Amino acid sequence: METLAVVVEEPGRVALRRLSMGEPDGNDLVVEVDFSGISMGTEKLMFTGAMPAFPGMGYPLVPGYESVGRVVDAGAMVRDRIGERVFVPGSSKFIGARGLFGGSARRLVTASARVLTIPDDLGEAAVLLSLGATARHALAAGNLPDLIIGHGVLGRLLARMAVAGGRYPTVWEINPARMSGAEGYTVCRPDDDDRRDYRSVYDASGDPDILDPAIARMGHGGELVLAGFYSEPLHFNFAPAFRREVRLRIAAEFQPDDLAAVIAMLGSGRLSLAGLVTNTVPAAQAATAYPQAFSDPDCLKMVLDWRSVA
């Protein structure tokens, strides 16, 4: 079996090339991908070569963990899933390239247990389910945020979920291109916010220097949640955190129940993905789409369209 896949050959160089894939076993699904998203966090680190040591990391690799498509074939144990519209986080069955995370390809082979059935009507916005699940996983273990740092897609999803839960947070943003788009919450520059009693702060910026500025605005006993991904060591001054008895929590990788919860929120109308995909290009343009996704301040989310790829 072959597939056409995005391959990061080495830091800074992306190509679209054919790869062989291992044959599906009895519990595997074959998914024909329609859309895949480009992650502004982990995939940027893979593209630039700044990704920390991570199981399976190395070049060449197939990136991506935000793919949606249709099950077109399946192993003997899961043939009842043929025809389903699904979200698939990737594949590790490429021959000649690592699958980290292995979602940016026209055809994927992966275990049925990793693949989630999704509604037919989400379209390309379905690639955002993983970021939605990331946001939900971060929120599920703590209080809803009073302050969110970063107004990218993850920050917006955190804010939309907070509003759905009855909390109306402040969001900090320093990029002028990302100040707009608030729905039920306030976006401002940190320097324009004089509040210093935040009890629940979520960082979605990925800035390794964010701890001290965030802690300086927190009230006693507050919690700072690291919801981004950080390529450099984090650091903070102990005394201000000590005086406030700040708690620090790291939001780990989302789980299947987080994805299911996000789909339920979408189905009930409590969450919308509208306005978050800003750029959709044919997958054949992957070599230029990746650097644009990471350098264009107006690009919130870049999506590759695989439907016209043979």
- CATH number reported for the structural domain that contains residue 219 in this entry: 3.40.50.720
Residues 108 and 137 in one domain: no
Residues 159 and 227 in one domain: yes
What is the distance between the alpha carbons of residues 275 and 265, in angstroms, rounded to a whole number? 17
pLDDT tens sequence across 246-260? 999 999 888 889 999
Residue 55 has pLDDT above 90, yes or no: no
Domain count along the chain: 2
What's the pLDDT band for 57 if we cut at 50, 70, 90? Answer: confident
Residue 300 has pLDDT above 90, yes or no: yes
What is the distance between the alpha carbons of residues 70 and 60, in angstroms, rounded to a whole number? 26
With a pLDDT cut of 70, the percent of the chain lying above it is 100
- Phi then psi for 76, rounded to 5 degrees? -60, -30
pLDDT tens sequence across 76-107? 999 999 999 999 988 989 999 988 789 999 99
In-domain check, residue 270: no
- What would the DSSP string read from start to end of 86-143? EEE---S-EESSEESS---BSEEEEEGGG-EE--GGGGGGGGGHHHHHHHHHHHHTSP
Q: What is the CA radius of gyration of the chain?
A: 20
With a pLDDT cut of 90, the percent of the chain lying above it is 84
CATH of the domain at 296: 3.90.180.10
In-domain check, residue 265: no
Residues 6 and 83 in one domain: yes
Residues 6 and 70 in one domain: yes
pLDDT for residue 36: 97
- Phi then psi for 69, rounded to 5 degrees? -175, -155
Range of the structural domain that residue 218 is part of: 131-250
CB 88 within 8 A of CB 110: yes
Residue 134 has pLDDT above 90, yes or no: yes
In-domain check, residue 162: yes
Residue 15 has pLDDT above 90, yes or no: yes
In-domain check, residue 136: yes
pLDDT tens sequence across 104-129? 999 999 999 999 999 999 999 999 99
pLDDT for residue 297: 87
What's the pLDDT band for 67 if we cut at 50, 70, 90? Answer: very high
Residues 8 and 32 in one domain: yes
Strands 186-188 and 170-172: parallel
In-domain check, residue 261: no
pLDDT for residue 41: 82
- What would the DSSP string read from start to end of 39-91? -SSHHHHHHHT-PPS-TT--SSEE--S-EEEEEEEE-GGGGGGTT-EEEE---
Burial of 155 (0-12, 13-18, 19+ CB in 10 A): buried
Residues 55 and 81 in one domain: yes
Closest CA to 217 of 199, 239, 233, 236: 199
In-domain check, residue 62: yes
Mean pLDDT confidence for 158-165 = 98
Tokens linked to 80: 């009842």
Residues 170 and 148 in one domain: yes
Residues 44 and 141 in one domain: no
Longest dimension (CA), the chain: 61
What's the pLDDT band for 42 if we cut at 50, 70, 90? Answer: confident
Residues 172 and 206 in one domain: yes
245 DSSP 8-state letter? T
What is the distance between the alpha carbons of residues 291 and 248, in angstroms, rounded to a whole number? 33
